[in-house]
Amino acid sequence: MTTSKQLFVVALLLATCLFALSDAVPHPIPEPEPFFDDGEYTIKHNGRLYQCSCPA
């Protein structure tokens, strides 16, 4: 049985994902600006920083 609270949480998560996707869509995708810093690979995209750990 799903409660209204669970449905609300699912709807909120879905809305958050859709908002994040729609935020990235209208802008033309710029060249990412990668740089290495202490083994972390950081990409700046639309003013946000994304980090991925790279294998050494």
pLDDT recorded at residue 11:
81
pLDDT recorded at residue 56:
45
Number of domains in the chain: 1
pTM, to two decimals: 0.34
Helices and strands (H, E) in the chain, number of each type: 1, 3
Domain hosting 23: range is 4-53
Closest CA to 35 of 21, 51, 23, 22: 51
Per-residue pLDDT of the chain (56 residues; tens, 9 = 90+): 568 888 888 887 777 766 666 655 555 556 665 555 555 555 555 666 666 555 54
